[in-house]
Amino acid sequence: MTIFKDNMISFARIKAVLLKEFVQMRRDRMTFAMMVGIPIMQLIMFGFAINSDPRHLPTALMDRDQSSFSRSIIKAVENSTFMNITYRPESDQDAEKLMREGKVNFILIIPENFSRDLVRGDIPQLLLVADATDPSAASGAANSMTEIVKAGLKRDLSGALSTLAPAPFPVEVVLHKRYNPAGITQYNIIPGLLGIIIAMTMTMITAVAITREKERGTMENLLAMPIKPLEMMVGKIAPYVIIGYVQTVVVLIAAEFAFKIPIVGSLILLFGAVTLYIIVNLMIGFLFSSIAETQMQALQIN
């Protein structure tokens, strides 16, 4: 009978373990904060920061027609929220410079005699030049451009011009994709992946390495040595900078030979920017290590 009673489930023992876990959770404030903080951060990131349908993209406008039809199209473009007309360059060279410098995502060109050709029924063309380095950013506005023009000209194509409204639509939207005409997503994903790899590994490695020193009690020995704190930080960081360079070279080789991504521009400038990026992430890892007490906490913060 005693053996049978010992094998029975005791809610009192379960309650004791449960209370013990709550007490432990209250003492480990870092873990509790991460349990609350991580969902909030993910809500903010996925709800606001990560957007597969970007809006209000900067656009350069060249209205060479200056007619009521062109003004209706411009108004429809602004009302669509896909584009914000932020520049009105005077020449093709100025527009090209804006796109090369990354100041605009689109160049909308309304050619001369657009209204004359529209009234004649000659099907005039609108030119939309898109920066396709990020295909997802360009695709939404580019795919909707014809419908935007239809909405803008709906009121104008009435009355005496109502015969132009039925299909086929009397305006042709010509799309030119720059820098990535085929819309290859690897051109955007692989370079971005390099930044993610460096950010994750550099902060994690540094935070865990410094926290491990504190756990093992060797940090006190390092601080007792005749070495300045800055010198110790530089000595700790230098090996990981080399690791970051190795990661960068591996990604670049894979991009060139495995994914056939053309690498243009200055490699010296690229490695200079990567060096700064690596050092910043290593400093963030140092910050995390000063907050965390254990390696587990350091991993949770990362």
Q: How far apart are CA 195 and CA 175, in angstroms?
A: 31
Token duo for residue 86: 């932020």
The full length of the chain comes to: 302
Beta bridge partners of 173: 126
Cα–Cα distance, 55 to 77 (Å, whole number): 12
* C-alpha pair distances (Å), 255 with each of 132, 159, 189, 263, 277: 18, 57, 10, 8, 20
Strands (E), the chain: 57-63, 83-87, 106-110, 125-131, 172-178
Mean pLDDT value of segment 79-87: 91
- pLDDT value at residue 95: 94
Strongest mean pLDDT among 46-50, 123-127, 183-187, 208-212? 123-127
Q: How far is residue 251 from each of residues 8, 238, 245, 247, measured CA to CA in Å? A: 59, 20, 10, 6
* Pairing assessment for the beta strands 125-131 and 106-110 based on DSSP bridges: antiparallel
- Each residue of 235-289: pLDDT tens digit? 778 888 889 999 999 999 999 998 888 888 899 999 999 999 999 999 898 888 8
pLDDT at 288: 84
Structure tokens at 276: 């700064």
What pLDDT sits at residue 130? Answer: 92
Contacts of 288 by beta carbon, 8 Å cutoff, 6+ apart? 203, 206, 207, 298, 301, 302
Residues whose CB is less than 8 angstroms from the CB of residue 285 and which lie 6 or more positions away in sequence, other chains included:
202, 203, 204, 205, 206, 207, 210, 302
Q: Are 191 and 273 in contact (CB under 8 A)?
A: no
How does pLDDT run across 146-165, given as a tens digit for each residue?
Answer: 888 888 888 877 665 566 55
Backbone φ, ψ for residue 185 (5° rounding) = -70, -25
Per the CB < 8 A criterion, the answer to whether 218 and 225 are in contact is no
pTM: 0.69
168 compared with 71, residue with greater pLDDT? 71
C-beta neighbour count of 276 within 10 angstroms:
10
What's the rounded Cα separation, in Å, for the pair 281 and 198?
8
Q: How far apart are CA 137 and CA 160, in angstroms?
A: 39
In order of start, what are the domains of the chain with their CATH numbers?
57-178 (3.40.1710.10), 185-301 (no CATH)
Which amino acid, residue 285? G
